[in-house]
Structure 1
Amino acid sequence: MRVILHETRSGEPLRELSFSAVTWSTAVCAADDVSVTVPGFTRAAEGLRGLIVPKKMTVTVSDEDGRCLAAGIIGIPEAGEDDDGSPSVTVPGSGPEQAIFERRHVLPYPYGSLVDQQGYPDPRYDTRLSGIEYGTMMKRLYQQAMRHPGGELPVVWESDRGGTRQRGWYAVDGKPVQEAVRDLSELLGGVEWDWVPTLDESDRLRWAFRTGADASPEITSAFWHSWSQGGKSPDIRRLREKVSSEFLASTAVFTGGKDEDRVLVSQRTDPTLINAGFPLMEVWDTSHSSVSEQATLNGWRDARLAEGQTPILYWSFDVRADRAVAIRKGDWCTIDIEDHWWIPDGTYTRRVIGVSGSADDDWLGVTVAGEASW
């Protein structure tokens, strides 16, 4: 495993870091997370104090074949000693969507005063997008933010996809870019997004920005992994199952936009769970204040109610790293269960939504998407 320090804005490599510990994790529609520990009182730590600068520098973690496993723009480094008095510096990092774009706002470049002389919002600085897919909207929001001086990052963009979507953001609202992207992904028909770090032959960091298409909103790859839980040499271990009731609901009430004394409301009750012996549970959602069409609000209500008709099974486990080469969030896998003490025998298909690892472990942590329990 290699850990390399890069300039955030250019991606240029500065120095390979020696380390005593490394952990990393990735997840669908979430920023990469990296933590590197560099031992003190060693040549590895010489000169690092002036290089490990939050935001200005980025760390990448790659395997022996040069595949970048995760990357993070440096957050808050911490130097200190453990209980035995051994010194070290811990360098955490997260992907640009968290480290940068949570603190950038939906504003064009250049822009002036956001209000006119009478104090009314100036519409010249609003952002309006139309005639494209949701994924391309996300890309345009990031690209607009990166046009500002100092906003550049080394990114390879996917091609535009034309469509029928339209959306707008008022400049005076100061909407964080990442919040706007997250809102798009959570819309009815919204799509997934991903910042994929890559290293070229000169160890330069580049981010590949990817999104799902309107017709296929999930980001998947060509890799399909097959693992077995039983037998003398199983591929997975520590299989854990949770049964969650967090989404259960028999009644859903959704509110939309307000106009003077009127408010858009959509409500519905499904007696399926009650008839099956469950106590009444309700969900009240006020997060769709921008919705002005009854049919759209009804769609949100129906989707949420359908989601809440069964407890959800969640699996997580460890898989041998050599049986999960090039695994990424979004991949699909087939898991053969045999003689498990809790889960029935069978072949189960699941989608990988999270991967984690460390420098001193031959196993990777995997989380798969939840499935209905019946």
Structure 2
Amino acid sequence: MPATERAYTALAYDTVTGRVLFDLDLAKEPEWSARVNDVGGWKITVPLHGQARAAKVREWCVPWRFSVAIVRGRGVPTDTVCQAGPILPYAPDDNSPEHTVSGKGFWENLNRRVLHARTWNPATARITDSSADLTINDSLPNIAINIAYHATSMVYRPGSALPLDFPVLFPTGANTRTYHGYEMAFAGQRLQELTQVDGGPDVLFQPYLTVIGGLRYIRHRMLVGNPYLVQPGVPLLFDYRSNLVKLTIAGDGTDQANTAFVKGTGNEAGQLYGYATDTSLISAGWPMLDMVDSGHTSASEQTTLDGWATADVALYNSQPEQWQATVLADAEPRLGSYLPGHFADYSVKNHHWLKNGKYSYRILGVSNGPERDKVLHQLQAVRGS
């Protein structure tokens, strides 16, 4: 019986070097998701028929030691790598000869790196010592690049290197961030927090497949925006009922707010906090709606806290709708010609809910679709825009 031709290939690679070690057999099409400013993830199911095949799976299915790349195509350098990152949970099926393996995107590596100055030496100084502190005075995009650089090039701690390509630095700026070693916060957390401030940069770790010395490698490009990612070429256009197959829309005002309080360090009367408000909707008849953001309780700089509050209001003061566009993967614009964080036009006609017209939104995330020839776009949409 001939093997099923699949739309995707899965490759197991060395997490530290990126070298591809195995082409994986798949029992079904993989699942994957990629999202700007976030981790993303993947899931595969592999067959376990026979002890030889099971032994091979046991060889590569080792969390953190190896990673998996989901590739649309046959696994050659011209193919699009949809998602790639470390193996985490796995579960052989007791009722059938199948084995499920899941993981996350490259960002997850940084979620397991305590952020400190790359020159801190744990053999000579405690992490509470000032030598572990990392202070960066620069533009927000360059601060993002420096966070990743310090987390992947530690001088006195082995194992920090990863197959990561850094972008060219942006023009310098006047922003300051101090990350104290004693906070013992993860680099991935600090990077995500930076993307969330007002004017914070988009960050995406884009995996790609390359050949070096005749061997295949998975590497990751760190893409950083100012604040948005650079989008080359002509604007993306998806036409309803053509390459745009379906639009699923859901509205939810649960998190809507026109005033944001962001908690920082301290407690009781000494509580530091950021504050921002926008009364434009209140003037149009909306009630006052407050939110309290407790996700930054280690922050101690007022300008940073206010920046998070401003960003929260900008995000939640609108009338949010969750749009999911189902598009054809191999019709123009093809998967691989755009990335999470890019903007696209969605031309709509004769939709049950939407007015006819062209809607321009940012693609927050891309994932596999319900059929092999389709992918899903998660969009940053606002009702009535």
TM-score, normalised to structure 2, is 0.82
Distance 1:133 1:302, change over 3 A: closer
Contact 1:32 1:72 in 2 (8 A): no
The whole-number CA distance in structure 1 between the counterparts of 2:11 and 2:275 is 53
Q: How does 1:210-249 map to 2 (within 5 A)?
A: 210-212=223-225, 216-223=226-233, 224-230=235-241, 234-249=242-257
The whole-number CA distance in structure 1 between the counterparts of 2:275 and 2:39 is 35
The whole-number CA distance in structure 2 between the counterparts of 1:93 and 1:253 is 34
Distance 1:7 1:226, change over 3 A: same
Residue 63, structure 1, aligned to residue 72, structure 2: yes
Residue 41, structure 1, aligned to residue 54, structure 2: no
Query: Which of 2, 12, 20 does residue 5 from structure 1 map onto?
Result: 12
Q: In the alignment, which residue of structure 2 is the partner of 1:141?
A: 147
Q: In the alignment, which residue of structure 2 is the partner of 1:26?
A: 34
Query: Which of 166, 174, 194 does residue 157 from structure 1 map onto?
Result: 166
TM-score, normalised to structure 1, is 0.84
The whole-number CA distance in structure 1 between the counterparts of 2:69 and 2:277 is 49
The whole-number CA distance in structure 2 between the counterparts of 1:15 and 1:300 is 43
Q: How does 1:1-374 map to 2 (within 5 A)?
A: 1-21=8-28, 22-41=30-49, 45-64=54-73, 65-81=78-94, 85-98=95-108, 100-107=109-116, 108=118, 109-112=120-123, 115=126, 121-130=128-137, 132-146=138-152, 147=154, 148-161=157-170, 162-201=172-211, 202-212=215-225, 216-223=226-233, 224-230=235-241, 234-254=242-262, 262=270, 272-274=280-282, 276-285=284-293, 287=296, 290=299, 292-293=301-302, 301=309, 304-305=312-313, 307-323=315-331, 324-325=333-334, 326=336, 327-357=338-368, 361-373=372-384
* Structure 1 residue 305: Cα displacement: 4.1
The whole-number CA distance in structure 1 between the counterparts of 2:272 and 2:63 is 45
The whole-number CA distance in structure 2 between the counterparts of 1:338 and 1:114 is 65
The whole-number CA distance in structure 2 between the counterparts of 1:67 and 1:308 is 34
* Structure 1 residue 165: Cα displacement: 2.1
Higher mean Cα deviation, 235-244 or 14-23? 235-244
The whole-number CA distance in structure 2 between the counterparts of 1:48 and 1:32 is 23
The whole-number CA distance in structure 1 between the counterparts of 2:161 and 2:274 is 43
* Structure 1 residue 191: Cα displacement: 0.9
Distance 1:261 1:156, change over 3 A: same
Deviations 1:64-123 (A, max 9, x none): 342212112111121114xxx42111121212321x22121013342346559xxxx421
The whole-number CA distance in structure 1 between the counterparts of 2:98 and 2:39 is 25
The whole-number CA distance in structure 1 between the counterparts of 2:174 and 2:158 is 31
Letter in 1 for 2:11: I
The whole-number CA distance in structure 2 between the counterparts of 1:115 and 1:69 is 40
Higher mean Cα deviation, 324-333 or 280-289? 280-289
Structure number with greater Rg is 1
Deviations 1:214-268 (A, max 9, x none): xx311142253212114xxx22233111223144334444566659955556667
How many corresponding residue pairs?
358
Using the aligned pairs only, state the percent identity.
Answer: 22
Distance 1:60 1:284, change over 3 A: closer
Contact 1:357 1:365 in 2 (8 A): yes
Q: In the alignment, which residue of structure 1 is the partner of 2:3?
A: none
Distance 1:44 1:361, change over 3 A: farther
Letter in 2 for 1:19: L
The whole-number CA distance in structure 2 between the counterparts of 1:78 and 1:97 is 23
Distance 1:190 1:288, change over 3 A: farther
The whole-number CA distance in structure 1 between the counterparts of 2:369 and 2:259 is 44
Distance 1:319 1:133, change over 3 A: same
* Structure 1 residue 298: Cα displacement: 5.5
Distance 1:291 1:122, change over 3 A: closer
Higher mean Cα deviation, 363-372 or 240-249? 240-249
